[in-house]
Amino acid sequence: MKLVQHHYGKARVRVMKVRRQGVRHSIKELEVSVMLQGNFEASYCDSDNSLVVATDSMKNTVYILAKEKLGEENEEFGLALAGHFLKTYPQVSRVEIGFSERTWDRMAPDGRQHAHSFLQKDSTRRIAKITQSRTGSQVESGIEDLLILKSTQSGFEGYVKDQFTTLAETKDRIMATSMKATWLYTKAPPSYSCANREIVDAMLAEFAGNYSPSVQVTLYQMGEAALKAAPEISQVSIAMPNKHCLLVNLSPFGLQNQNEIFVPTDEPHGQIEGTISRD
């Protein structure tokens, strides 16, 4: 028998940092994962833990470096974390750091932003993955659980029809999805946060601005828009589960349903995915 692949680490390390600039505070809340590869085969095959870095130590490292290094840029924090593990432990050859951020917005009870009170407006999370070895690093950023919908300017026609087809063609339907998108940086932008916002804004403008003959076409157009918005990225991967909104049949009640009353459904749903890269 042979161990052909192994890595281990600490997952779902939750950390919140309050950054204080006088009376004005800001909140950063992350869920962090740390995964290590390296010379750990003996711990699997020979009951030898002499080179194993305890996952509890990884958790503590996240907290300590969060105090010292965590600022606005998650990607910079990830590079610092990965660099720490490579520098500190010679038996480590590769580190993967993952982030999922829960975002907090400032309350504005009197029309002015409050200095230290916050609320969560939506479920969207910023995500990032930093992979670093002794020969180089890779930064991937993105978003997940971004709920977007348009109530018209979407259709679906011309697909395969056979004995199993019941879906009717339409030129006018609701298009809704909970999107996940990640993009790969080939070089660092002046600001990851700014670049990420510009990428998302460009994709949303494409979603809202064009008629969609299919989710596939819209996915491709949004990927193109992201690449045009940020020259520092080389590819974009997008997943768009089609959250169906089913038209209710009101004819038994003597009523016409002119694309007004729908049943939103989560499952089963279409799952459309794709990766768009530069030529």
Give the active site residues: 10, 55, 244
Q: What is the C-alpha to C-alpha distance for residues 15 and 122, in angstroms, rounded to an integer?
A: 19
Q: With contact defined as beta carbons under 8 Å apart, do 240 and 272 qualify?
A: yes
Angle (nearest 5°) at CA 238 between 120 and 16:
30
Tokens 């993955």 found at: 129
β-bridge pairing 8-21 and 24-38: antiparallel
Q: Is 148 exposed, middle or buried (0-12, 13-18, 19+ CB in 10 A)?
A: middle
The runs of H, that is alpha helices, within 89-122 are none
> What helix, strand, coil percent values describe the chain, rounded to 5?
25, 40, 35
User: What is the enclosing helix (H) or strand (E) of 94?
Assistant: strand 92-102
Distance from CA of residue 197 to its chain's centroid?
13
Total number of residues shown for the chain:
279
The runs of H, that is alpha helices, within the chain are 41-45, 55-69, 74-88, 192-209, 215-229
**Whether residue 268 has a cis bond before it, omega within 30° of 0:** yes
Residue type present at position 39: N
